[in-house]
């Protein structure tokens, strides 16, 4: 619920009190004696979901931005009339949806000052880079907690639906600056780490699990980003804390940005390319989910004549986001298909080899090693371990299993066969 205080302009007292009486709202009227163009201050409680329609009615009778309208949280209101008002609006409006005025205020509050935003983004990116190089999920998660990236995404899209060009431009600018700073600071830090020999030498950074996860994104990455954006809308429009959702959004943005920097520092362009695609898909998907969610929940500009402009801008921006995501999704689709085909090929190799070895020999393990590329890897070597009883003659399986592996892989792969003696318990 909310407690509202409004300065009533001279000549508007009866109209304002009439609106409150018609809505069944209890109020307190205080005379304004400062001699200005206001006649009184009216204070009244309303349910959260009633705030926007009540403010719209008051705006229609002459309450505008020239005076003060103050809205604060109210923990408890004890009044039978207020209970009736809650029941009335519970049937008509979403109980958790905050008013447009609160939405814009909250979105503006989420956008930090430039100095703090830049500093926290740089610190977050450096910590994420350290966590990736150390292959430490805990450190990577810790970097996301301090990343201030939720504010700009919310600000830009709230500005779109309420037709506030300044808010939209500020949000877009902060997103671009934040991601640029994250990549630049990660690159500089990774270069320092590499050339100062802070960690053991890495010939291939994709050998690190945390980095490898961000190099070859698939369609599940798209789902994660869309989910993060949708959760951001829910938290923003329901008035609850956005801190945890901010971590989720940072999950989709900070580690890929840090991976780009690592790829640049190690001179591995495919690492930077894969993570750059992931970063772009994530930031576009988050913005798309936020924009669609805000428009779906019915947020519109304050004045009706702005609604057409807001609708046009929203449709255009949704179109740009969707087209951009579809273009980048070609890469995601290729990676997803490649992952599926690679898993299928490895399974076919294992099954073919196991079926080709007759007792008393048995296949203990089949290890498929792929080409040393960041993405779109191909099988290059198969290591087969065959178990034999102590008294069994060693069969010559290398050529036979190599043919099986070549056929399953659709290309020439090197095959090694290791024999071990297996004691069997009777």
CATH code of the domain containing 373 = 3.30.300
Residues 40, 19 within the same domain: yes
pLDDT, average across residues 95-123: 81
Residues 153, 29 within the same domain: no
Per-residue pLDDT of 303-328, as tens digits, reads: 666 778 888 888 999 999 999 998 88
Residues 76, 139 within the same domain: no
Sign (positive/negative) of CA torsion 263, 268, 270, 271? negative
pLDDT band of residue 189 (cuts 50, 70, 90) is: very high
Per-residue pLDDT of 262-286, as tens digits, reads: 999 998 888 888 889 889 999 999 9
Residues 91, 110 within the same domain: no
From CA 273, how far away is CA 375, in angstroms rounded? Answer: 10
Q: Is residue 114 part of a domain?
A: yes
Percent of the chain with pLDDT over 90: 18
Per-residue pLDDT of 190-206, as tens digits, reads: 999 988 887 777 777 88
What pLDDT, on the 0 to 100 scale, is given for residue 292?
A: 92
From CA 216, how far away is CA 412, in angstroms rounded? Answer: 24
Distances (CA, A) of 104 to 84, 249, 253, 319, 391: 29, 20, 24, 23, 81
What pLDDT, on the 0 to 100 scale, is given for residue 93?
A: 52
> The pTM is what?
0.72
Residues 295, 159 within the same domain: yes
Q: Is residue 405 part of a domain?
A: yes
Of 71, 95, 119, the domain-final residue: 95
Residues 154, 266 within the same domain: yes
Tokens (6 digits) for 353 = 């080899």
Residues 251, 168 within the same domain: yes
Q: Is residue 337 part of a domain?
A: no
Q: Is residue 251 part of a domain?
A: yes
Q: Is residue 306 part of a domain?
A: no
Least confident among 122-126, 221-225, 350-354: 221-225
From CA 89, how far away is CA 92, in angstroms rounded? Answer: 5
Q: Is residue 191 part of a domain?
A: yes
Residues 143, 240 within the same domain: yes
What angle, rounded to 10 degrees, do the helices at 243-265 and 269-296 form?
160
Provide the domain count of the chain: 3
By residue range, what is the domain housing residue 48? 2-95
pLDDT, average across residues 19-40: 82
Residues 91, 217 within the same domain: no
Residues 264, 368 within the same domain: no
Residues 269, 214 within the same domain: yes
Of 95, 128, 154, the domain-final residue: 95
Residues 362, 414 within the same domain: yes
């Amino acid at each position: 619920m909310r407690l509202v205080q409004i300065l009533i302009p001279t000549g508007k007292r009866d109209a304002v009190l009439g609106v409150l009486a018609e809505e069944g709202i209890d109020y307190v009227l205080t005379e304004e004696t400062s001699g200005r163009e206001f006649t009184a201050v009216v204070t009244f409680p309303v349910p959260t979901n009633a705030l926007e329609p009540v403010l719209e009615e008051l705006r229609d009778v002459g309450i505008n931005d020239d005076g003060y309208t103050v809205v604060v949280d109210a923990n408890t209101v004890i009044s039978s009339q207020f209970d009736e008002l809650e029941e009335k609006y519970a049937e008509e409006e979403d109980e958790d949806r905050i008013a447009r005025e609160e939405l814009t205020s909250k979105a503006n509050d989420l956008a930090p000052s430039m100095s703090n935003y830049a500093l926290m983004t740089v610190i977050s990116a450096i910590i994420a880079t350290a966590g990736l190089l150390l292959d430490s999920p805990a450190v990577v998660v810790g970097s996301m907690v301090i990343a201030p990236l939720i504010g700009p995404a919310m600000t830009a899209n709230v500005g779109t639906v309420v037709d506030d060009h300044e808010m939209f431009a500020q949000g877009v600018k902060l997103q671009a600056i934040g991601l640029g700073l994250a990549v630049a600071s990660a690159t500089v830090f990774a270069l320092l780490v590499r050339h100062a020999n802070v960690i053991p030498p890495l010939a291939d950074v994709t050998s690190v699990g945390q980095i490898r996860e961000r190099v070859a994104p698939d369609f599940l990455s798209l789902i994660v980003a869309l989910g993060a954006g949708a959760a951001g809308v829910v938290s923003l429009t329901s008035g609850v804390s956005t801190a945890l959702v901010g971590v989720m959004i940072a999950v989709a943005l900070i580690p890929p940005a840090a991976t780009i920097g690592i790829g640049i520092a190690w001179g591995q362009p495919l690492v930077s390319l894969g993570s750059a695609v992931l970063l772009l898909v994530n930031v576009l998907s988050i913005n798309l989910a936020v924009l669609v969610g805000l428009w779906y929940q019915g947020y519109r500009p304050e004045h009706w004549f702005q609604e057409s402009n807001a609708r046009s801008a929203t449709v255009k921006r949704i179109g740009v986001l969707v087209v951009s995501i579809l273009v980048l999704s070609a890469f995601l689709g290729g990676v997803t298909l490649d992952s599926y085909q690679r898993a299928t090929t490895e399974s076919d190799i294992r099954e073919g080899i196991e079926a080709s070895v007759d007792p008393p020999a048995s296949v203990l393990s089949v290890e498929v090693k792929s080409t040393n590329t960041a993405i779109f890897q191909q099988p290059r070597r198969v290591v087969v371990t065959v178990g034999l009883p102590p008294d069994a003659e060693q069969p010559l399986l290398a050529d036979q299993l190599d043919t099986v592996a070549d056929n399953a892989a659709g290309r020439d792969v090197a095959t090694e066969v290791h024999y071990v003696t297996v004691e069997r318990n009777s």
